[in-house]
Amino acid sequence: MSEPVLSVKDLSVVFHLRRGDFTAVNKISFDIMPGEVLGVVGESGAGKSMTGTAIMGLVDRPGEVSSTSITLNGDRIDGLDEESLRKIRGRRIGMVMQDPLTSLNPLFTVGEQLIETIRRHLPLNEKQARARAIELLADAGIPKPEDRIDAYPHQFSGGMRQRVVISLALAAEPELVIADEPTSALDVSVQAQIIKVLKRLCAERGVAVMLITHDMGVIAEAADRMIVMNKGEIVETGTVGDIIHRPKEPYTIKLIDAIPSIKEQNPRYAAAVARGDEGDAAVTDAPLVRAENLSMVFDLSPSLFSRLTGRNRKIVNAVNDVSFQIERGKTYGLVGESGSGKSTCARMMVGLLRPTDGNVLLEGTDIWNDKDAAAKRRSKIQMIFQDPYASLNPRWRVGDIIAEPMRQLGIARNNKEITEKVAYLLDRVRLDPVVMRKYPHEFSGGQRQRIAIARALSSEPEFIICDEPTSALDVSVQAQVLELMSQLQDEFGLTYLLISHNLAVVRQMADAVGVLHNGVLVESGPVEEIFSAPKADYTRMLLDAVPDIAKVA
């Protein structure tokens, strides 16, 4: 057996904080073999990113790194001074970071950043470096690299930018690439392409990869071997197939169970089939919510002048003639890539955005009808947002956050009643009512999303629009929140519009699904029909692109 490319022995990262020491990474050891893709998986706070950062020597104070040894192809790279480390970063270890939108400097062209990196590490002149940069971009699958090299990062889409980042990481022929959540910020279809590019380029060059991600599906797709981390320690190591099919540790088992698989049938559908009333959709009463021929046109023309004269007009059909209906007590899932118009739909349904054309009917009345309709809309329709860190006002107490809709809409008469209702709601979302005195920052992401759900419930709505309610959460937390949402649906008879790019979540939660592509509803129907026998090509492509642990042999 050959020597490992990277060998880490007893790596620890400790943060010396005022409240005491916090151990982010605790004495972990692992090897990466030449040409191997090692997946590092774990939930947020598991210390996986910190491990990558520590190997690069990029841990900032007050963090302190200690290790018995870290060797890169036999050379010790721990405990080096800044200057020697800088010769390793980029040159011998390349890095790909999570968010391609922020990891490139917006003020320099892609070419400038590539050439700068190449010339820093390789003895090439400006012209040779430029030729190499073009070659790298071409390798990473960027069309017409000779033209695109002089473009600025904002002129590239997210997926293209991540290709640029990968070219940057590979610019100086490193021996190892550390990819930290390289696809988490991207759409599924783009995600699949990026994984493919990363895998191909590394295989061609014989580069070893350390692939850090929270997404088990990505690991299943790309990695050979994997490490499961929890609370700074390695829980389990093994080949990907072994761990996914035969996990040994309780933590790994829990983690894998929590992942909704796209291959799993909808539990409610399965139950309905078991009861033998498969075709009950036809007998339900009139739909609660109907979207009729919804359209939204944004005019992005550069100036009033061009708007008037029609020169340089730039009109974006964000949503184009979308119709669907949701029956009372059911969940409708809306899926699609970013830019497909999902969130615009949500904003029109909730009444934040007036549709250019078409109607939103709630119990048969248009929500834009008149003042009464608007008041009704406000109490009957609520929304849960994607990022529970941003959607709760950090300067308000939890109790006030939840009570706000009641106060605004005059649902409760006095403070005593409000307090009682808030306590009741907190209890319903499985939080202790005493937390109403606390502030949002004292809660974890999952708890915050529960608070957001309690706030949505406080106006006693019938219809809740959930815009990516779990995409900012860890898988195990996601499972809990989804479970809670299903329970509340049964308890309160709620109707959901679930917007998500995560197809597995939609399959698990929804009764019916609509697939949006460039603002057009390409397919709509019962969830099992669409997932097991998609008709539209786009739906099929979307389903195929999903990295899924069930694909591992």
Binding residue for another protein (CB under 8 A) from 4, 32, 156, 507?
156
- Comparing CB distances to another protein, the nearer of 81 and 285 is 81
Distance CA 198, CA 423 (A): 50
Phi, psi of 538 (to 5 degrees): -60, -45
Stretch binding another protein (CB under 8 A), from 64-72, 105-113, 280-288, 475-483: 105-113
User: Minimal distance in Å, beta carbon 134 to another protein?
Assistant: 16
Binding residue for another protein (CB under 8 A) from 7, 45, 108, 361?
108
Task: Map the footprint of another protein across residues 304-343, applying CB under 8 A.
Answer: 312
Binding residue for another protein (CB under 8 A) from 20, 106, 364, 394?
106
12 DSSP β-pair partners: 66
Pair 346, 289: CB distance under 8 Å? no
User: Minimal distance in Å, beta carbon 14 to another protein?
Assistant: 20
- Comparing CB distances to another protein, the nearer of 53 and 470 is 53
User: Minimal distance in Å, beta carbon 387 to another protein?
Assistant: 18
Residue with tokens 């783009």: 190
Nearest to 43 by CA among 263, 256, 238: 256
- Comparing CB distances to another protein, the nearer of 151 and 536 is 151
Chain-centroid distance of CA 310 in Å reads 39
Binding mask 271-310 for another protein (x = CB under 8 A): -------------------------------x--------
Check residue 82 for interaction with another protein (CB under 8 A). yes
- Comparing CB distances to another protein, the nearer of 270 and 315 is 315
User: SS3 breakdown of the chain: % helix, strand, coil, rounded to 5?
Assistant: 40, 25, 35
In sequence order, which ranges of 391-474 are alpha helices (DSSP H)? 398-409, 415-428, 445-457
Pairing label, strands 37-41, 208-213: parallel
Pair 165, 104: CB distance under 8 Å? yes
Distance CA 280, CA 526 (A): 12
- Comparing CB distances to another protein, the nearer of 23 and 109 is 109
Residue with tokens 């580069």: 207
Binding residue for another protein (CB under 8 A) from 120, 254, 397, 438?
120
User: Minimal distance in Å, beta carbon 385 to another protein?
Assistant: 23
Tokens of 198: 């990363």
Check residue 65 for interaction with another protein (CB under 8 A). no
User: Minimal distance in Å, beta carbon 242 to another protein?
Assistant: 32
Check residue 154 for interaction with another protein (CB under 8 A). yes
- Comparing CB distances to another protein, the nearer of 156 and 332 is 156
526 DSSP β-pair partners: 512
Check residue 447 for interaction with another protein (CB under 8 A). no
Stretch binding another protein (CB under 8 A), from 81-89, 264-272, 285-293, 483-491: 81-89
Q: Which letter, b or e, does each residue of 336-347 get, where b requires 16 or more Cβ atoms within 10 Å of its Cβ?
A: bbebbbbbbbbb
DSSP sequence for 10-46: EEEEEEEETTEEEEEEEEEEEEE-TT-EEEEE--TTS
- Comparing CB distances to another protein, the nearer of 120 and 263 is 120
User: Minimal distance in Å, beta carbon 512 to another protein?
Assistant: 31
Check residue 165 for interaction with another protein (CB under 8 A). yes
Stated as kind and residue range, the H or E segment containing 383 is strand 381-384
Check residue 477 for interaction with another protein (CB under 8 A). no
Could you tell me where the beta strands, DSSP code E, fall in 55-171? Answer: 63-66, 69-72, 75-76, 93-96
User: Minimal distance in Å, beta carbon 553 to another protein?
Assistant: 34
Binding residue for another protein (CB under 8 A) from 148, 342, 450, 507?
148
Tokens of 510: 């929804």
Check residue 155 for interaction with another protein (CB under 8 A). yes
Pairing label, strands 495-499, 512-517: unpaired
User: Minimal distance in Å, beta carbon 302 to another protein?
Assistant: 5
Check residue 104 for interaction with another protein (CB under 8 A). yes
Q: At what angle do helices 537-545 and 188-205 cross, to 10 degrees?
A: 50
Binding mask 504-523 for another protein (x = CB under 8 A): --------------------
Check residue 103 for interaction with another protein (CB under 8 A). yes
User: Minimal distance in Å, beta carbon 467 to another protein?
Assistant: 24
Chain-centroid distance of CA 267 in Å reads 24
User: Minimal distance in Å, beta carbon 400 to another protein?
Assistant: 31
Tokens of 436: 């109403």
Check residue 171 for interaction with another protein (CB under 8 A). yes
Task: Map the footprint of another protein across residues 350-409, applying CB under 8 A.
Answer: none
Nearest to 112 by CA among 64, 164, 73: 164
User: Minimal distance in Å, beta carbon 477 to another protein?
Assistant: 24
Distance CA 65, CA 78 (A): 9
Residue with tokens 């759409």: 187
Check residue 168 for interaction with another protein (CB under 8 A). yes
Check residue 164 for interaction with another protein (CB under 8 A). no
SS3 call for 52: helix
Check residue 160 for interaction with another protein (CB under 8 A). yes
Pair 267, 489: CB distance under 8 Å? no
Pairing label, strands 208-213, 357-362: unpaired
Check residue 455 for interaction with another protein (CB under 8 A). no
Binding residue for another protein (CB under 8 A) from 34, 69, 131, 152?
152
What are the residues binding another protein (CB under 8 A)?
56, 58, 82, 86-91, 94-95, 97-99, 102-109, 116-117, 120-121, 148, 151-152, 154-157, 160, 165, 168-169, 171-172, 302, 312
